[in-house]
């Protein structure tokens, strides 16, 4: 019988098994990879957490008590996605003893994994690409998987109706280039870091996932390839509107926001489709293509992506 990998510590404690942390620029396919790995019978990955850096700050001095930490986590705008009982979290934090960042984070993830009936957990929060060093310092089990997608397709996905504005596309290119370059610059400081391409996840699915499983010390299971059979059920966790960000007004009803959120992830309920690749060739105007490649053509070429603008891209 397969068991979760873990190293025994003193007093019968077990160091958690390696935990895959999926990071990257938003709209790069991180939800797809999350659902693929989540389909493994031993691993679950919750919706985006986004609170870990602040949780570390709250607990790193060892002065926060269980009630304070529980109130912080349960008060986060993403809390409703996890389907957890705040009282169970509070009790788990009390039982964990010293509330270090490591203990507090593991208590949350262990509770979520228990509710899913699985022994191992991971995370998928694209914004953690900027916090990998901090997270790795406090959660040594974290295995960072940086998922990269052609930035022109990222821009089209992100901008939607504004995708024909060269100025907006140029700004999206700057952000895409900057976030990838900063993540790669941090990678030598990490004990466990790898990169994967969205395009390979679509066209070379099994070999790519096998490599990611090996990196995460997760035994291969073909259930991963059938992720789409359960993805709608897993996405039901997020079938509601997120509370407005602090200091911002809602511009639509809760029903409309929930519908938009569900529609955004609709494609991950289907098997991988090659039509999701190189969308820029069909939908990006020549002006927008030139604007993107003028800002990020150098990184596109470095990553091996084909350039399409008639004018050479600026380095």
Can you give 139-165 as a three-state secondary structure string?
CCCEEEEEEECCHHHHHHHHHHHHCCC
Q: Convert the pLDDT of each residue in 125-166 to its tens digit.
A: 999 999 999 999 999 999 999 999 999 999 999 997 666 899
Answer yes or no: is pLDDT of 10 > 90.
Answer: no
What is the three-class DSSP state of 65? coil
Which residues, in sequence order, are CB contacts of 258 under 8 Å at separation 6+? Answer: 239, 240, 241
Query: Please, are residues 313 and 294 in contact by the beta-carbon 8 Å criterion?
Result: yes
| d(C-alpha 262, C-alpha 231), whole Å | 12
Strands (E), the chain: 7-8, 14-15, 19-23, 43-44, 120-121, 123-124, 142-148, 193-197
DSSP 26: T
| d(C-alpha 18, C-alpha 16), whole Å | 6
b/e map 246-258, b = 16+ CB within 10 Å = eeeeeeeeeeebb
Q: How many whole angstroms from its chain centre is CA 176?
A: 16
Q: Convert the pLDDT of each residue in 256-265 to its tens digit.
A: 455 565 566 6
Mean pLDDT, rounded, for 218-228: 97
Tokens of 258: 């929930």
Answer yes or no: is pLDDT of 98 > 90.
Answer: no
Query: Please, are residues 153 and 280 in contact by the beta-carbon 8 Å criterion?
Result: yes
Size of the chain in residues:
315
Tokens of 113: 């994994």
| d(C-alpha 254, C-alpha 232), whole Å | 20
pLDDT at 312: 45
Which residues, in sequence order, are CB contacts of 88 under 8 Å at separation 6+? Answer: 111
98 vs 4, higher pLDDT: 98
| d(C-alpha 312, C-alpha 61), whole Å | 52
Tokens of 286: 């020549």
Query: Please, are residues 65 and 99 in contact by the beta-carbon 8 Å criterion?
Result: yes
Q: Convert the pLDDT of each residue in 78-92 to its tens digit.
A: 999 999 999 999 999
| d(C-alpha 146, C-alpha 143), whole Å | 10
| d(C-alpha 26, C-alpha 159), whole Å | 11
pTM, full prediction: 0.90
Mean pLDDT, rounded, for 8-34: 82
Q: How many whole angstroms from its chain centre is CA 93?
A: 25
Answer yes or no: is pLDDT of 254 > 80.
Answer: no
What is the three-class DSSP state of 194? strand
pLDDT at 265: 65
DSSP 17: P
pLDDT at 92: 97
pLDDT at 160: 78
How many degrees, rounded to 5, is the angle at CA 36 between CA 31 and CA 38?
Answer: 90
DSSP 224: G
């Amino acid at each position: 019988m397969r068991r979760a990998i873990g190293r025994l510590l003193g007093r019968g404690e077990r160091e958690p098994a390696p935990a895959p942390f999926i990071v990257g620029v938003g709209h790069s396919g991180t939800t797809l990879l999350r659902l693929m790995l989540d389909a493994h019978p031993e691993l679950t990955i919750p919706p985006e957490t986004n609170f870990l850096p602040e949780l570390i700050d709250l607990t790193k001095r060892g002065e926060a008590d269980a009630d304070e930490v529980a109130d912080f986590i349960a008060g986060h705008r993403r809390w409703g996605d996890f389907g957890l009982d705040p009282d169970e979290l509070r009790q788990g934090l009390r039982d964990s003893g010293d509330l270090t960042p490591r203990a507090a984070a593991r208590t949350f993830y262990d509770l979520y994994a228990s509710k899913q009936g699985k022994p191992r957990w991971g995370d998928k929060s694209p914004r953690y690409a900027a916090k990998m060093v901090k997270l790795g310092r406090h959660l040594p089990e974290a295995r960072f998987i940086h998922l990269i997608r052609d930035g022109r397709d990222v821009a089209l996905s992100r901008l939607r109706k504004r995708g024909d504005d060269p100025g907006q596309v140029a700004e999206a290119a700057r952000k895409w280039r900057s976030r990838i370059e900063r993540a790669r610059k941090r990678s030598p400081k990490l004990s466990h870091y790898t990169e994967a391409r969205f395009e390979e996840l679509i066209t070379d699915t099994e070999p790519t996932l096998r490599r990611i499983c090996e990196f995460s010390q997760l035994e291969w299971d073909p259930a991963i390839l059938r992720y789409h059979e359960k993805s709608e059920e897993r996405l039901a966790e997020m079938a509601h509107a997120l509370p407005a960000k602090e200091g911002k007004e809602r511009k639509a009803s809760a029903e409309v926001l929930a519908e938009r959120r569900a529609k955004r992830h609709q494609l991950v309920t289907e098997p991988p489709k090659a039509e999701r690749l190189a969308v820029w060739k069909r939908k990006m105007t020549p002006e927008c293509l030139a604007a993107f490649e003028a800002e990020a053509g150098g990184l596109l070429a470095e990553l091996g992506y084909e350039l399409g603008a008639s004018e050479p891209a600026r380095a």
